[in-house]
Each structure stands twice: as C-alpha cells, then as structure tokens.
C-alpha cells in the first residue's frame, strides 16, 4: 500500500455538516457518484450467491439505489448507514412500505453496531478516510458488525482513478491494498476493477474486493 498520508482526522460533526449540505442543496441525480441502478454491487453480491435471506448493511448508503434495488428483489433485512440524515430521508421516501428497513444516520468511525450482518457493503466510503486512525476505527466497526463467515464487499477509487471527490482528498486502493487493509482475518473471494461514469460522462475507475471473514 502507498505510504499513508497523515492528515488530521476530520471531525465527525464537520463531515456530517458537509454531507447534509450536499444532499440539501444538490439534485441527487447530478452528483458524480449517482447511478440509476446498483449494477456493479448487485453483480458482486451474485459472485458469492447472496440471497434475500441474508442480512446486509450498506455503509455510506446515501441515496444509492442498492437498498431500493434489493428491496425490490425480496430482501427485507437491510440497514442503510450514512452520515447524512438528509440522504437517508430521500431514499426512505422512495420506500414508504419498507417498515423493516433500518436507517441509521451515523459516522462509521463512531458507530457501535448492536447486531451483526451477513454482508457489509461499501461503495466509495472507505476511500474518504485518509488517516491511519480513521481507517483503524472503520476496521474496528467492520469487525464488530461482521461475524466469522460473513462477507465484506468494498469498492474504492483505484490508484488510476480520481484523487478527490466532492472537494475532498481520497485514499485510493488496488485489490491487494484493500486486502492488506482488511488483514489476515479475511480471505479474498473475488476482486475486480470497474468504471463508473458520472452524469457528466467522466470515467471513474474503481477497485473492488469480496472478502470473507475467517477468524
């Protein structure tokens, strides 16, 4: 992995304010991370034979279509976590009948899960954590939420992808670096690169891994 930059940890309240403002002032369909369908995430879930019987938490869920897409496919044990309550409210409004869904406005660095999930999904949240302390706090939450045998699906900007997002510096990873971050408790079940195209047509290159916790 690249030598980690050591910026100061961004205060959760400041980060929350930033993202609340983004979702309060911008059309969700205009932001660079918008996707109409969670195609790549659904394909990664299919790689491990995930089914509607599984439980899943989506980290940095925002206004991602993943939770609505899974709900439409019969999934019911779903949790969406994001810093922005505004973002979660937008998605929640799309699913008024989905009473079993859990919507958690919290910072993954500070959140303490009260249960465990079969699947941990993160598309483009981890790479915003650019200091070792914040990365360690994310990892601690991951271990608390994911049991042995569970799977983590994590996608970040690749080393040849964007260097920042929404005015914020990011930490890129390739698949090997993602597995190094996860550590020896995890086994890689699948890895790939993919490209996301923003509403303006710009290409963003991603790295993704599907890793199973073994201890």
Q: What ranges do the domains of the chain cover?
A: 33-213
Q: What is the DSSP letter of 30?
A: G
Tell the burial category of 37 from Cβ atoms under 10 Å away from its Cβ (0-12, 13-18, 19+): exposed
Determine the pLDDT at residue 107. 96
Determine the pLDDT at residue 24. 80
Which H helix or E strand runs over 18?
helix 12-25
Determine the pLDDT at residue 181. 99
Determine the pLDDT at residue 10. 60
Q: Is the pTM of this model over 0.85?
A: yes
d(CA 188, CA 152): 10
Determine the pLDDT at residue 1. 36
Architecture of the CATH domain 33-213:
3-Layer(aba) Sandwich (3.40)
Determine the pLDDT at residue 29. 82
**Inter-residue contact 121 to 66 (CB < 8 Å):** yes
**Inter-residue contact 51 to 112 (CB < 8 Å):** no
d(CA 172, CA 188): 18
Q: 201 Cβ partners below 8 Å, 6+ apart? A: none
Determine the pLDDT at residue 4. 34
- For each of the chain's 215 residues, which pLDDT tens digit applies? 333 334 455 655 777 887 787 778 888 787 877 898 999 999 999 999 999 999 999 999 999 999 999 999 999 999 999 999 999 999 999 999 999 999 999 999 999 999 999 999 999 999 999 999 999 999 999 999 999 999 999 999 999 999 999 889 999 999 999 999 999 999 999 999 999 999 999 999 999 999 999 99
């Amino acid at each position: 992995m690249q030598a980690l930059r050591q910026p100061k940890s961004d205060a959760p309240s400041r980060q929350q304010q930033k993202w609340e403002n983004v979702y309060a002032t911008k059309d969700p369909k205009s932001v660079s991370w918008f996707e109409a369908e969670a195609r790549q995430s659904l394909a990664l879930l299919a790689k491990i034979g995930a089914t509607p019987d599984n439980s899943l938490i989506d980290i940095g869920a925002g206004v991602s279509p993943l939770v609505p897409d899974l709900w439409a496919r019969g999934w019911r044990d779903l949790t969406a976590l994001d810093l922005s309550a505004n973002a979660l409210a937008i998605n929640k409004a799309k699913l008024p009948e989905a009473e079993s869904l859990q919507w958690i406005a919290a910072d993954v660095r500070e959140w303490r899960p009260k249960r465990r999930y079969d699947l941990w999904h993160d598309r483009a949240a981890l790479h915003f954590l650019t200091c070792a302390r914040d990365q360690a706090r994310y990892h601690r939450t991951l271990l608390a939420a994911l049991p042995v045998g569970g799977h983590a699906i994590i996608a970040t900007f690749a080393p040849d992808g964007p260097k920042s997002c929404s005015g914020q510096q990011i930490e890129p990873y390739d698949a090997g670096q993602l597995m190094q971050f996860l550590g020896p408790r995890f086994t890689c079940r699948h890895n790939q690169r993919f490209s996301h195209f923003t509403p303006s047509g710009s290409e963003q290159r991603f790295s993704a891994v599907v890793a199973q916790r073994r201890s």
